[in-house]
Amino acid sequence: MIPVITIDGPTASGKGTVAARVAEALGFYYLDSGALYRLTAYASLKAELDLADEDAIEAVAKALAPEFKGGRIVLDGEDVTDKIRMEAVGVAASKVAALPRVRSQLVQLQKRSRQAPGLVADGRDMGSVIFPDAPLKVFLTASAEARAQRRFNQLKEKGITANITTLTQDLQERDRRDMERAVCPLAPAAGAKILDSSNLTVEETVAQVLTWYKECLAA
Ligand code: C5P
pLDDT tens figures, 34-75: 999 999 999 999 999 999 999 999 999 999 999 998 889 999
How much is the pLDDT for 106? 97
Mean residue pLDDT of the chain comes to: 94
* SS3 call for 52: coil
How much is the pLDDT for 50? 98
**pTM of the entire structure?**
0.91
Flag whether pLDDT at 210 surpasses 90.
yes
Flag whether pLDDT at 21 surpasses 90.
yes
How much is the pLDDT for 187? 87
Beta strands 78-79 and 72-75 are: antiparallel
Question: Which ligand 1 atom minimizes the distance to the CA of 38?
Answer: 6
The Cα–Cα gap between 175 and 127 comes to 18
| Residues 114 and 131: beta-carbon distance below 8 Å | yes
Flag whether pLDDT at 93 surpasses 90.
yes
Q: What is the mean pLDDT of residues 133-159?
A: 92
Identify the band that residue 158 occupies on the pLDDT scale cut at 50, 70 and 90.
confident
| Residues 144 and 54: beta-carbon distance below 8 Å | no
Ligand 1 and 170: CB distance under 6 A: no
Ligand 1 and 66: CB distance under 6 A: no
